[in-house]
Copies of this chain bind each other. A is one copy, B any other.
Amino acid sequence: MRSALVVGTGLVGTSVALALSERGVAVHLRDVDPVAVRTAASLGAGTVDGSADVVDLAIVAVPPALVGRILADIQAEGVARHYTDVASVKAGPQQDVIALECDTVHYVGGHPMAGAERSGPLAARANLFEGRTWVLTPTPDTETETLNTALELVALCGATPVLMGAAAHDRAVGLVSHTPHVVASLVAMRLEQAEERAVSLAGPGIRDLTRIAASDPQLWVDILSANAGVVADILEGLAADLDDAVAGLRAMASTDDAKRSGGAQIVEGMLRRGNTGRARIPGKHDGRPARYEAVAVLIGDQPGELAKLFTDADRAGINIEDVRLEHSTGQLAGLVFLSVAQGAAVGLEETLRARGWRLR
């Protein structure tokens, strides 16, 4: 890929443009907002579009509802050999593209799965997509050369491509991203009116569960509205399971022994299925859940404690696979959980004890 046109210089569009420019691709920039496009250009994302040449790839980086219309416009202009987009939902834009009779042979939908706490070109980074998954949604129409050009885009941005159908993509992000967001918010909502003393007992479990409930509501309404039907379907399934859980718990609270044990069976069955589902979430390197052992270390709160701890852990020659900090309310001391490959915990514990660390 030698040349590209980015239409829409928001966070994602400008980040794509920066990544491509860094790799030597000649990038042209367009946006309805002249300030946004000049800002992106001043950051080194490319040049404000003035070229009459046909580029290799046009990247439509506009909100989902506008993808079809913008694609139709720039295809009518004939600006590029191949076309893609970066919208976070795929079925709606695909329907629009077909309804507007766009050229679907030279177009493939895309969704780079990178976080976006802030928006606009000033928040853009060339490495926004590094190490992230980038879904592409080819159809039977899509020409191989178009798909290959999109795959080159993904590679130039440092991301990992995954091919899926548009509807399957929307169901997947509905399940693993949109639904968890709503659920985290619903649980956090219950803390809104809770007694101060009750909230003071909150520990790492509910803290991790509600982390994503701190996100920007306006941004998430936009995301959810583009996939609302899918998310509603998944939440309805969840609501049915929730009713079963409540019925099971009510039976567990009964004075009747048979009822109690029946309720416990229902609830235990659900917890076991939760175990199974949780175990399917991919681990670190191989896409499969890894088995780790955790070593829990007590640390003080002085600067440098973590540096010392990791330097000492390093002496054991053991790779730390994951790290989690846990602090109690009102306490200076904290616990650091170091996850290591199965079988490696004993060696790490010996090293740390020998260096004076207190393990739990």
B-binding residues in A (CB < 8 A): 113, 125, 127-128, 130-133, 135, 160, 162, 164, 168, 171-173, 175-177, 179-192, 194-195, 197-203, 205-215, 217-218, 220-221, 224-225, 228-229, 231-232, 234-239, 241-243, 245-246, 249-250, 252-253, 260, 263-264, 267-268, 270-287, 298, 301-304, 306-307, 309-311, 313-314, 317-320, 322-325, 327-335, 358, 360
Q: A183-B187, A268-B217 are contacts. A209–B207 as well, Cβ < 8 Å?
A: no
* A205 B198 Cβ-Cβ under 8 A: no
* B235 A246 Cβ-Cβ under 8 A: yes
* A228 B206 Cβ-Cβ under 8 A: no
* A281 B207 Cβ-Cβ under 8 A: yes
Which residues from chain B contact A329 at a C-beta distance below 8 Å?
133, 160, 282, 287
Which A-B residue pairs are the 10 nearest by beta carbons?
A185-B274, A172-B198, A191-B277, A217-B271, A307-B310, A188-B277, A228-B252, A232-B249, A229-B253, A228-B253
Query: A180-B206, A190-B238 are known contacts; what are 10 more A-B pairs with Cβ within 8 Å?
Result: A133-B328, A160-B331, A168-B197, A175-B191, A180-B187, A211-B278, A213-B278, A287-B329, A303-B314, A322-B325
* B242 A277 Cβ-Cβ under 8 A: no
9 pairs, CB–CB < 8 Å, chain A vs chain B: A131-B333, A132-B328, A172-B198, A172-B201, A176-B205, A217-B274, A235-B246, A303-B318, A306-B310
Q: Which residue of B lies closest to A127 (CB)?
A: B360
Which residues from chain B contact A235 at a C-beta distance below 8 Å?
242, 245-246, 249
Which residues from chain B contact A173 at a C-beta distance below 8 Å?
201
CB distance from A280 to the nearest CB of B (A): 5
* A333 B275 Cβ-Cβ under 8 A: no
* B190 A205 Cβ-Cβ under 8 A: no
User: CA A287 – CA B303 in complex, angstroms?
Assistant: 20
Q: Which of B188, B207, B267, B332 contacts A221 (CB 8 A)?
A: B267
Q: Which of B210, B252, B317 contacts A225 (CB 8 A)?
A: B252
* A177 B190 Cβ-Cβ under 8 A: no
Which residues from chain B contact A217 at a C-beta distance below 8 Å?
268, 271-272, 274-275
